[in-house]
Amino acid sequence: MSNVSSKGTALVTGASSGIGAIYADRLAKRGYDLILVARNEARLNAVASRIHAETGREIKVLPADLNDKESLAKVEAVLRNDASITMLVNNAGLGSVASILQADVDQMDAMIGVNITALTRLTYAVAPAFGARGSGTIVNIASVVGIAVEQLNGVYSASKSYVLSFGHSLQKDLGGKGVRVQTVLPGATATEFWDIAGYAPQKTSPVTMSAEDVVDAALAGLDAGEEVTIPGLYEAEAWTDWEAGRREMSKKFGNAKPAPRYHVAA
């Protein structure tokens, strides 16, 4: 049983397995009570029972399909109204390895619904309360393919680029109000994601990280004050340099005339 004093409640989406279930375990051991969100109620209950037995933390399950408007609205209402919530982990996500010539557009639309729409709405639901209190933590799980966009399905990569960009904006809007925002970019991780995405062999590839290592690295990055954590990137300066270059280039866009290389007449 945990003797750690309560740090409030963490709401974790996609918590029935994989990265989400590991976050639930680690956060409970750090002193958080939990609200666990996923579609599969039986698996949620199993995760909750195990973690409660090991830690003694209070754990609630909230079965919800984040692609269903009514289910999503219920989770939003909890985030708006439960003053005990001090952390949101937006982990739920869908993926694919199919090209645009193979993928079904309705499946891509469903992916956008979970990876972008639900993540955005849940963040908007909790941000005002966190801002008003001057505290709180939002963790959004993106992916390295948000940068290495050519590696997997284009919609999946673009959805994770959105999460990274959204995180930068949240840090700008909320950082000065005492709210922590961390964007985590895992590489290939040994979870059921690959079974659902259509490439199960990736789970046993030598470049694939365990979910435990991903979460432990992400939490270490959070403790260190990182705004963006990339567990598999050994050369931290590569991210620092890339991000500095992006920000420097962004200063150069404000010109009222096209660049001379386009030969547009005045």
Task: Kindly state the tokens that stand for 159.
Answer: 């959805």
Task: Kindly state the tokens that stand for 108.
Answer: 């891509």
Q: Are 165 and 176 in contact (CB under 8 A)?
A: no
- The answer for residues whose C-beta is within 8 angstroms of residue 151's C-beta and 6 or more apart is 144, 145, 157
Task: Kindly state the tokens that stand for 94.
Answer: 């869908």
Task: Kindly state the tokens that stand for 218.
Answer: 């992400």
| Distance from C-alpha of 65 to C-alpha of 60, rounded to nearest angstrom | 16
What is the crossing angle of helices 154-174 and 119-133, to 10°?
Answer: 10
Which of left, alpha, beta for 204 (phi over 0: left; psi -120 to 50: alpha)?
alpha
Query: Catalytic residues, which ones?
Result: 156
CB hemisphere CA count around 63 (13 angstroms):
8
Question: Could you count the other beta carbons within 10 Å of the beta carbon of residue 232?
Answer: 16
| Distance from C-alpha of 79 to C-alpha of 83, rounded to nearest angstrom | 8
Q: Are 72 and 116 in contact (CB under 8 A)?
A: no
Q: Are 33 and 41 in contact (CB under 8 A)?
A: no
Q: For residue 118, report the phi and psi dihedrals to the nearest 5 degrees.
A: -65, -45
